[in-house]
């Protein structure tokens, strides 16, 4: 019997991944902040719902105690709990928003991995959900999210190298755009920004067609679920799994930064 702890299990990507894992014979502690999730389609004998707030150490400690009632070891800790919004770095309540996103997207991951680390000794592994934004060029108005994912990349790389001697693989999943609530959050953040900005309305309006194009090309979460299953089961997993990354952002990777700045200045 293989056991996994999965945070963010109630989200679109999370629920798809949990279904893949349980179908492959795993028992999954499907953790999320709300008692309303995991959703009914996760309620299988191999899925154990778990309320876990990754920003609250007491909640994490309670989750550890609950997991230990079933097993004394885990084969995988999979971190998918996360927030996304689009916004300005100079307007609105940016400091509070940034603190909240760091607390969930980065510190939540660190807290969970630290708390469950000893249960992974002897054959377990860690899988962290990053993003295409974690390694691609930073784009305007997506900085809040991008900053956290750059940090997740650095954290995951450092953790992987730290745990090499203990035989614990640490793997990154780098998804592109997928049809989940995070996509809705991105659109909502963009719409709110364009209606409230004092300084960037012209630029945002010119960027709207690109935003619409990216949202319309969102992929099926099952692609990520298959990558996570491979990362969890393969004897020698990849260091990172890039899943359906944006072709448009891929083109931007080829453009020198100074040229890209000229493009954005022309839009403003």
Question: What angle, 0 to 180 degrees and rounded to 10, lies between the N-to-C axes of helices 257-267 and 201-216?
Answer: 110
User: Cβ contacts of residue 220 below 8 Å, gap of 6+?
Assistant: 178, 179
Q: Is the dihedral of CA 230, 233, 234, 238 positive or negative?
A: positive
Q: Please state, in angstroms and rounded to a whole number, the distance separating the CA atoms of residues 80 and 13.
A: 8
- pLDDT of 38: 47
- pLDDT of 250: 92
- pLDDT of 42: 58
Region 222-229 average pLDDT: 97
Q: Please state, in angstroms and rounded to a whole number, the distance separating the CA atoms of residues 123 and 135.
A: 29
- pLDDT of 35: 60
Domain that includes residue 205, residue range: 2-267
> What length does the chain have?
268
pLDDT of 242 > 60? The answer is yes
> Which H or E run contains 60?
helix 57-68
pLDDT of 238 > 90? The answer is yes
Structure tokens, 15: 């629920």
pLDDT of 210 > 50? The answer is yes
User: Cβ contacts of residue 12 below 8 Å, gap of 6+?
Assistant: 178, 179, 180, 181, 182, 221
Domain count, the chain: 1
29 in helix, strand or coil? strand
Q: Please state, in angstroms and rounded to a whole number, the distance separating the CA atoms of residues 215 and 209.
A: 10
Structure tokens, 198: 């004092």
The predicted model scores a pTM of 0.93
CB of 75 closer than 8 Å to CB of 3: yes
- pLDDT of 126: 98
pLDDT of 64 > 50? The answer is yes
87 half-sphere exposure, CB direction, 13 A CA radius: 20
Region 192-201 average pLDDT: 91
- pLDDT of 131: 96
Residue percentage of the chain with pLDDT more than 70: 97
- pLDDT of 236: 95
- pLDDT of 141: 94
Provide the CATH number for the domain around residue 29: 3.40.50.720
Q: Round the average pLDDT of the chain to a whole number and report it.
A: 92
For residues 268 and 42, the model is more confident at 268
- pLDDT of 43: 58
Give, as one character, the DSSP assignment of residue 134: G
For residues 194 and 80, the model is more confident at 80
Cis peptide before 216 (omega within 30 of 0): no
For residues 213 and 235, the model is more confident at 235
Region 10-27 average pLDDT: 94
Q: What are the catalytic residues?
A: 145
Instruction: Dump pLDDT digits (tens) for 117-162.
Output: 999 999 999 999 999 999 999 999 999 999 999 999 999 999 999 9
């Amino acid at each position: 019997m293989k056991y996994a702890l999965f945070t963010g299990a109630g989200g679109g990507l999370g629920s798809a991944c949990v279904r893949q894992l349980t179908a492959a014979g795993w028992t999954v502690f499907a953790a999320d902040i709300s008692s309303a999730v995991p959703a009914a389609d996760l309620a299988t004998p191999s899925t154990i719902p778990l309320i876990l707030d990754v920003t609250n150490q007491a909640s994490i400690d309670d989750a550890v105690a609950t997991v230990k009632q079933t097993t004394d070891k885990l084969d995988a800790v999979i971190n998918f709990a996360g927030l996304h919004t689009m916004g300005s770095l100079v307007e609105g309540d940016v400091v509070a928003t940034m603190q909240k996103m760091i607390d969930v997207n980065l510190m939540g991951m660190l807290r969970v991995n630290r708390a469950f680390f000893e249960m992974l000794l002897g054959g377990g592994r860690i899988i962290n959900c990053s993003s295409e934004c974690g390694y691609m060029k930073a784009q305007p108005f997506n900085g809040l999210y991008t900053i956290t994912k750059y940090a997740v990349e650095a954290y995951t790389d450092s953790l992987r190298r730290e745990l090499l001697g203990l035989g614990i693989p640490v793997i990154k999943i780098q998804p592109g755009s997928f049809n989940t609530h995070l996509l809705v959050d991105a659109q909502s953040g963009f719409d709110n920004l364009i209606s409230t900005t004092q300084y960037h309305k012209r630029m945002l309006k010119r960027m709207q067609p690109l935003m619409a194009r990216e949202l319309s090309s969102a992929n099926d979460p099952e692609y990520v679920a298959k990558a996570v299953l491979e990362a969890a089961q393969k004897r020698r997993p990849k260091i990172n799994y890039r899943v359906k990354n944006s072709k448009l952002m891929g083109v931007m990777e080829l453009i020198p930064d100074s040229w890209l700045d000229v493009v954005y200045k022309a839009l403003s």
